[in-house]
Each structure stands twice: as structure tokens, then as C-alpha cells.
Structure 1
Amino acid sequence: MKKLGIVLLSAAFLLQMHTLNASADQVKQQTSPVQSVAKTNADDATNTEKAINNSKTESSIVSESVQKNDVQDSQKENTAKNNIKTDQEVNKTDTTEENTTSQKENAVESNHDAGVKNDTTPTNNSMNSKQIIANKNDEVSKTSSNINLSKAAENKATNNTVNNNSRKTLNIDKNVPFKHALLKNKVQEYKNSSLSSVVVKIGQIGDVISLQGIVVDGTRKYYLLTNNTYILVDNSVLQKLNNNYTHYYVHANYTHLIKAKKGFVLYSDANTKKGVRTVHKGEYVAVSGIYYTASGMPKLRFGDLYFTANRSFVETSKLPFKKSLLKSSQNEYQKASSNSVLRKKGKKGDVLSLKGLYLGDNNVYIKVTYNYYIVADFNNLQRLTTNYQRYYVHKNYTGKIKVKKGLILYSDLKTKHQIDVIRKGSFIKITGMQYTSTGIPKLMMGNYYLTASRAYVETSTSSKIFLNIKTICQNPEFPTGCEAIATTMMLQGAGVNISKQQVVNEMPRTNTHDGNLGFIGNPRSQTGWWIYPPAMLKVVKNHLSSGANLTNCSFNDIKKKINIGHTVVVWISGYGGTMTKINHAITITGYDNSRAYFNDPWTGKQLSMTIKQLHNYRKADAYRALGY
């Protein structure tokens, strides 16, 4: 019985131990899924880190390879630069830009790799089996999150690797057909050499681009631009430009009008061999288009004429004035086209209001008065001041004028140098008209200028040309000093402030009987004789450097002097009473078809005689005359 009891106790003990072992196995089976997940997470993180490290190594190798190739290309470019002096600065800029771009790309890649590595750090911290067992639900959630982060990091590393592999196979051909070009049409600029790449921007017509290489991507070719964007190779949308293109206007849309900074020539051919005319500094020329030589040199066009686009010679301009005068007849059209309805033929001297520039059929047109159009030939347009109504603006309107107020005669268009004074009541023959830079018209008497203001002058139909100079009488002070008094009137008419006493005092004297040397006798006495032009000329030259002995001149010569505002002193004999019969001097002031007008110093009056009479009186005194 004692043995039986021991056996029973042993069996019970074994049964209890079996039960405990079974419970332990069940607990073990319940915890193994959590441990499995943790183990899988740890393995994934380890593999991801290895992939990232491999990617970084490969990226570093590719970056070094690209940078090395760039440096070699840069060295080749530096060698080429020594052979092309004109492109030296451009190539230097391109090389610097290329190296800078490579350095920026390497820096971006390094920063990107560092970011990926930081993304994997939480995975290493998640591997704590005690925390998994302590809080199973919480750890499972954290593990799932870490798995997603690991996959994201792995995707970034994979994309980075793909991009680096693409760069590794990128082959840039530096042999571009030209270095700079102008866009003829809009083009898309891509971030990478792929049509599926991001479009960085749309290049516009007239944009200038610079090429640094050609990239082949499958069956397509791309130009790599200096701004590190890509465009498809299509030379039909590109216009080659000269390497010094910045010195020129390269696109016609920049302007329809230029102003000459220096003189240049208009040519009838694009090769600039057949000159048509010279454009002077300050003139305007319309631009209807642009032409490029084989070397990419731009030439501006106006219709069928060609001229320089060099910025040193031309500059862009807006419509320079609002009022203009036609120098010669010109067609006026209904629209900006020579094929449209012809409104009328504008006449020489017509005044036009200019409203704007318009590009038409191979030409530039100006919209003018009543909304009609003329070809923008600025060589046929004379600028007018906006107050042009106050002036006579065309020489055909004038011909002859009457002076309403006293005015000054000038030797220069800017009216700074006074030559003569024209008194009220004078009738002047106008020989021409010129305009100041601001479009103010000036009347011309020979080579001299006077105002065209309607307040000072008015047109005249009279045949009379007459200089209304002040009369001076020789009596009673100088009964035999007619030559001195006639000369005084001529000098005063020329604007010299001088009196008859001063002229008499300056007049040379002689003790001989030769009037060419000086005055014979005393002009204050009735017994005085005379003085001739050679001696009297000395007084004139004291005040007018242009003084001249006009002895033997014809009346036509005298008329020419009158026409430019100069009076003339002539010697006559046989005219008048006792004191003037033998010898006398008068001041010729004008003429008409049959008569000569003069100031008589003996009477102090304005008188006239027939041209034939004057001829006979002059003949009797050897055609002596004095002028300036």
C-alpha cells in the first residue's frame, strides 16, 4: 500500500507538469507573431539602409564623373577661346556658368541623400522586443508606420538612382551649329531632355537663346541651353545670330522707327554694295523688317532698302513730331497698304497731322489727317512746330513779302549772329526757306535768315523790291559831303549804329586832286569836291568786314545786293540842280520792273528814277559804286 501511494503521487506530479508545459507552449505560440513582425521590420530597415548607402556611393561616383567631364569640356573650350578673340568673353561666361551649375547639382544631391538617411533613423529605434511584448497593439501600429517610412525612403533612393543613372548616360555634344540664335516661333523649354519632362517656360518670338550642346534622347535631339533647359532641335524656328549680336538691334519688332546717331548709308542690296543716299545724324528712318546675312549679322530694312542695325549708329525712336510738311507729292491710301484705295495724291507743301506708325505690305505707313495712310518716308517729311499756323511754312507761299514790323537779318539758322536790320515797309524777295530742329520755319534772303512769323511779314504781289532804310539829309552841315551821307545810310541799313558826323570824321582826306586817295577839300564847305570808292571803302571796312568796291558793276549786280537786303551807294553825274549836276552820290534801296528807288542825301527823301536814267547818270561818273 505504501508503494502504491508513492506511485500515485508521482503520476499526479507528472500530470501537473505536463499541464504546465502545455500552457507555456500556448503562451509561446501567442507571442511569436509579434516577434516575427519585429524581426521582419528590422530586416527591412537593414536592407533599406544598405540600398541607400549603395545609392549614395553610386551617386557620388556619377557626380564625380559628370564633374570630371565638365572640367575636361571646360578645358577644351578654354583652348578654343584662344583662337577666337571675338567670342572670348562669351565663352568665359558660358564656362563659369557651366561649372557653377555642376556644383549646384552636386550640392542638391548631397542634401537629398542626407534627407533620405534621416528618414530611415526611426526604423533603427523601433527594434525593442521588450516594448513589443509589453504593448503589443501599440508596437504593431508603430511598426506599420515605420514600414511605410522605409518604403518611402526606398522609393526616394530608387528615384535618385534612376536619375543618377540617366545623368551617367547623358552625352553632350558641344559641336553646335551656332552659339546664339533668335526664336522665330514660340518653343517649349523643358527641364530635362524628355517631352514628358516639366515645361519650364515658353520661349517667345524674338527671344535670344544661347546653345551649349546637343543631347540625344532616343530618337530625339535636344539643344541644351545655357540656362540648363532643353528645346527640341528644329533649326527652322531658329535664326542664327552673330557672336557680337548685343551690339545690334536683332529683332524688327523692337521698333518701327530709328533715329540716326551717326551718318550712315541706305543700300539697294542686302550685301550693302550699292549706296542710294546718306542718312545724316538726327534724321529718322522707318523700319519695315530685318534681314540676316549668312554669318547672322542683322540688317534693318525700309521697303527695298537696307541699312545698319548697329546700336552705335542708330537708336529706336517713337514718332518724333505731330505736324509735318510734304516736301514732294505723295500718295495717300485708304488703308496701310499700297493695294488699297488711293484717296488722293498729296501735294508739295501740304501740312499733315501724324497719328501713328503701322506695319503694312512690306512697308511702314503713317496714319495722317482724316485717317488716311502714307508710306513712312521721313526723307519726304519736314517737321513743323505745333504752332505752325503762326508762320509761313512753305517758300512757295511767299516769294515776296512786305515787312509789317522791323526785323533782324541773321547769318545763321539759329539766329545768333546779326547781320542787318530790315525796317517796316520794306518789300523783300524771299529766295528760300529752312527749318530749325524743332520745325520753326525761317525765311531766306540769299544766305541770310529772317523770321517767317505772320506778325512780322506778309505776302506781297507787288513787283517792287524795296529796302525801307532811314533817310538822312546832308544839309546844312555837309553841303558837299554827299558821299559820306550816302555811305552813312548804307551802314545804318546794315545795322551799324553810326552817325553822319562820325562817318565824315573817319573819311580820309587828301591834298591832291585824286579822289581815290581821300576827300578833296572840305565837305563842310560849298567849295569841297569829292571822294571816290577806294578811299571811302576804308570807312566801310571799319564797320563791315565785307565792304567792297563795286565800281563797274551792272544794275543786275545791284539788284542781287538788294535781293539779299544790302543797299548800294552809286556815283552819278548830271542829276539834279547846280550842286549835284557835276557829281553826286545816292543810296540805291530798291527796284521794280522799270524804276530804281533811292535815298537822296541832298533832299533827304526817298525818290525814284527810271532804270535807263540811272544807267546814263552812272555812265557819266564811270559806274563808280560802293557796297558790302
Structure 2
Amino acid sequence: MISLNKILCSLLALLTVMCLALAKPTAPAVEQAVSPVPLLKPVNANTDDDANANANAADAAAPAEHHYLVTQAPALSQLPELPNGCEAVAATMLLNWAGLPVTKEEVADALPKGEMPTENDDGAFVGGNPEDVFVGNPYEAGYGIYHKPVYVTMNRLLPGRLQDITGTSFDNLLSVIAAGKPAMIWATENMDTPYLDLEWQDDQDRLVEWYQPEHALLLTGWDDDYAYMNDPMTGQQEAYTLSDVKNVWELMGSQAITVN
């Protein structure tokens, strides 16, 4: 008589054989699909070469810093002798830098002079034109003078050495300083926004519009933030925000004189 345990063991062995027979082999394509895939390098992962290349590119893209300063251009004060003679003093500093040992008083005396505006019998204001003459007296009461007559006077004192660059762009003005030459410019005191102070007619019935607080200075340097200039009002080198200088200089007609 066969025991129950032997029957159970036989049945278990039979079931194991049937399961092995029914099992299918894994296809090669499936094996490939489930095989581990090598990880790719992340796009933003840098090797040493990549890091060096990126650093060089960053250096090339970074804006260059600028700093230019003209040497041998001592500042002069207009006070107390020339309370209204900033143009004469700025011109003197430029001439001195160019090698002409002239004084501010000699330059002031050489400038052509015209009358201060006064009211005539018809109630109109008439006077000299700063495009032609110094309106008033640089030693006493006066308005001022613009680039044309100043250039003519300076060229007479130092023939062939001066250049009137009025009307040039601000970038070109800065390039003059970068080339190592100072420039006399027309702006305002403290770079304040100019305002129309008075209108009058000259002797040729031309309208004169006078803007205050007109001021002439000697531009001697600049960097990315500031312009540096000899200021006749203080007798020292002053720093003014570059954007303010550009704005005021252009509002005052982009007037400038330099040395060839």
C-alpha cells in the first residue's frame, strides 16, 4: 500500500516539471531592453576644458573698464581777479598745457568785448552777442563768450595748434582725452541743468538767448562713471557724473576746443 506522503511528493515533482516545460526563454531584444544603459553626461556638467572655455568667454564678454587722465594740466582759479572770466581761465589752462606761458589776465584782455544787454528807447533789450564777443567785462559784470571768438583769440596766441571741435559727438570728445589731450568745454556750474535767463537783440538784430549758469572748464580725464576737469570756479580738479556732463554739454551746444 502506497503511503500518502509518497503520493504527495510525486505530485509535487510532476508539477515542477510541467512548470519548467511551459516557461519561455527571454528574447534577445527583451534582454537588450532591460540591460543597464550607460548614463549620459548632463548637458550642464563641465569638464576642466569646458570650465576654462567658459571662463575665457566670460572674460571676453565682460566690459572693459576705462580710465584716462591727462597729466601736466594744473588747475587755475578765476577768483578773485576774473569773477566772470571762466572762459579766459579755461583757455589759459589749455594754452599753458600746450606750452604757451600766458596768464589768465593776458587771455582775458585779448578777448573781444561787447556791451551788456540794456533796454533801449523802444523797450527792447540790445547788447553784444557771445557768438562774436565777450558780453560785458570778465573783470566785473559780464555774461560770457562762446567758442568761435575764443578759438580765434587762442589761435592768434598759438597759431596752428588749436582745433575747434564744436558739434562733435560726446564719444569723440572723450576720445580726445583718451588720446592724451585736454579739451576746453562749455557746460554749467556744478553741471546744473541750464535755463533761459534773458533774451536780447544784437547790433545785427539777431536774437541772443543766454542760458545760466553758463560755465567753461578744462576736461582732463574720465572713467566709466565720472568726468574730471579743472574748474576755474574752485581752482581745483573736480569730478562730475559722466552722464550729467554729457547732458549739460550737449544742451550748451556741444562746444569744445582742443589742441592738435
TM-score if structure 2 supplies the norm length? 0.59
Match of residue 505, structure 1, among 109, 121, 124 = 109
Correspondent of 1:482 among 58, 81, 86? 86
1:38-437 matches, cutoff 5 A: none
Deviations 1:40-98 (A, max 9, x none): xxxxxxxxxxxxxxxxxxxxxxxxxxxxxxxxxxxxxxxxxxxxxxxxxxxxxxxxxxx
- Give distance in 1, aligned partners of 2:96 and 2:179: 16
Correspondence 1:624 to 2:227: no
Q: Which has the larger radius of gyration?
A: 1
CA contact (8 A) 1:494 1:566 kept: no
Q: CA deviation at 1:555?
A: 2.2
CA 557–576 in structure 1, closer or farther in 2 if over 3 Å, else same: closer
CA contact (8 A) 1:521 1:529 kept: yes
1:473 equivalent to 2:88? Answer no
Change (3 A) 1:575 1:513: farther
Instruction: Return the TM-score normalized by structure 1.
Output: 0.25
Q: Could you tell me whether the CA contact under 8 Å between 2:191 and 2:244 is conserved in 1?
A: no
Change (3 A) 1:472 1:556: same
Provide the residue aligned with 1:589 in structure 2: 220
Q: 2:166 aligns with which of 521, 527, 551?
A: 551
Check whether the contact 1:574–1:620 (CA below 8 A) recurs between aligned residues: no
For structure 1, the 5+ residue unaligned runs are 1-460
Question: Secondary structure at 2:107's aligned position in 1?
Answer: helix
Post-superposition CA distance 1:380-407 (Å, at most 9, x none): xxxxxxxxxxxxxxxxxxxxxxxxxxxx
Q: Distance in 1 between matches of 2:223 and 2:214?
A: 26
Q: Distance in 2 between matches of 1:575 and 1:513?
A: 26
Q: CA deviation at 1:574?
A: 6.0
CA distance in 2, matches of 1:576, 1:619: 12
Q: For residues 576 and 617 of structure 1, what CA distance do their matches in structure 2 show?
A: 6
Aligned mates of 2:184, 2:170 — CA distance in 1? 12
Residue 532 of structure 1 and its aligned partner are, at CA, apart by 0.6
Contact (CA 8 Å) 1:521, 1:528: kept in 2 or not? Answer: yes
Rounded Cα–Cα distance in structure 2 between residues aligned with 1:574 and 1:588: 14
Deviation at 1:462, TM superposition (A): 8.2
Superposition pairs of residues 500-579 of structure 1, within 5 angstroms: 500-511=104-115, 512-525=127-140, 527-542=141-156, 543-573=158-188, 575=190
Q: What is the CA–CA distance in structure 1 between the aligned matches of 2:189 and 2:231, rounded to whole Å?
A: 14
| Runs of 5+ unmatched residues, structure 2 | 1-63, 116-126, 195-210
Letter of the structure 2 residue corresponding to residue 549 of structure 1: D
Whole-angstrom distance in 1 between the partners of 2:186 and 2:142: 16
Alpha-carbon shift at residue 598 of structure 1 (Å): 0.5
Larger relative contact order (CA 8 Å, sep ≥ 6): 2
Deviation at 1:463, TM superposition (A): 3.8
Deviation at 1:544, TM superposition (A): 4.0
Q: Is the 8 A contact 1:574 1:617 kept in 2?
A: no
Percent identity, aligned pairs only?
28
Match of 1:60 in 2: none
* Aligned twin of 2:19: none
> 2:246 matched to which residue of 1?
615
- Please tell me whether the aligned partners of residues 561 and 567 of structure 1 are also in contact (alpha carbons under 8 angstroms): yes
Give the equivalent residue in structure 2 for 1:97.
none
Counterpart AA for 2:110: E
SS in 2 for 1:529: strand
Give CA-to-partner distance per residue, 1:560-608, whole Å, 9 cap, x none: 2223332111111363689x95210111001112221100000001011
- Give 1:513 deviation, angstroms: 2.6
- Matched positions, count: 166
- Report the residue type matching 2:69 in the other structure: F
The alignment yields a C-alpha RMSD, in angstroms, of: 2.3
| CA distance in 2 between partners of 1:504 and 1:575 (Å) | 23
One-letter identity of the residue aligned with 1:467: V
Aligned: 1:464 with 2:67: yes
* Counterpart Cα distance in 2 of 1:539 and 1:564: 25
Q: Which residue of 1 aligns with 2:50?
A: none
8 Å contact kept, 1:480–1:524: yes
Q: SS at the partner of 2:142?
A: coil
Counterpart AA for 2:154: V
CA distance in structure 1 between the aligned counterparts of 2:91 and 2:214, rounded to whole angstroms: 15
3-state SS in 2 of match to 1:575: helix
Separation of aligned partners in 2, 1:478 and 1:574: 15
Q: Which residue of 2 aligns with 1:604?
A: 235
Looking at structure 2, the residues matched to 549 and 540 of structure 1 have their Cα atoms a distance apart, in angstroms, of 10
Is the counterpart of residue 493 in structure 1 residue 102 in structure 2? no
SS at match of 1:558: helix
CA distance in 2, matches of 1:603, 1:544: 30
Which whole-Å CA distance do the structure 1 matches of 2:212 and 2:175 have between them?
A: 28
Cα shift readout 1:226-274 (whole Å, capped 9, x = no counterpart): xxxxxxxxxxxxxxxxxxxxxxxxxxxxxxxxxxxxxxxxxxxxxxxxx
CA contact (8 A) 1:568 1:588 kept: yes
SS in structure 1 of the partner of residue 100 of structure 2: coil
| Counterpart contact for 1:541–1:547, Cα < 8 Å | yes
Amino acid at match of 1:481: G
Find the counterpart in structure 2 of residue 289 from structure 1.
none
